[in-house]
Amino acid sequence: MPKINFVNRDGSRTEVEAEVGKSVMEVAMDNEIDIESACEGSLACATCHLVVDPDWFGKIEPAGEDETDMLDLAFGLTPTSRLSCQISVTDDMDGITFSVPEDI
């Protein structure tokens, strides 16, 4: 199983094993990472927003139009922001880092 790193709001890091095929949102929720999933992954909110490490951003599948539109509602938006419900874990993601954005 690939290992995923989360940088929490307080700057601490959490490394978890992620099941291939699960969404990054599911992995985060399963491991008590401090994000919400108000719409439970149905692409109807931006509460599962995470920031992808810039070194990894181009290595994951790009966001679709619906995700890009929804990201406009996210707080703390960055050029490498993604909705974690829209990213499926793959073996190639071993070592990837996601940061939980600060609440604004």
Please tell me the pTM assigned to this model. 0.94
Domain count, the chain: 1
Q: Specify the pLDDT at position 83.
A: 97
CATH number at residue 81: 3.10.20.30
Place 62 in a pLDDT band, splitting at 50, 70 and 90.
very high
pLDDT above 80: residue 80: yes
Domain span holding position 8: 3-99
User: What's at 27, amino acid-wise?
Assistant: V
Residue 41 lies in a domain: yes
Residue 104 lies in a domain: no
Residue 32 lies in a domain: yes
The mean pLDDT of 44-54, rounded to a whole number, is 96
The mean pLDDT of 69-76, rounded to a whole number, is 92
Q: Specify the pLDDT at position 102.
A: 83
Q: Specify the pLDDT at position 104.
A: 47
Q: Cβ contacts of residue 32 below 8 Å, gap of 6+?
A: none
Q: How far apart are CA 63 and CA 50, in angstroms?
A: 13
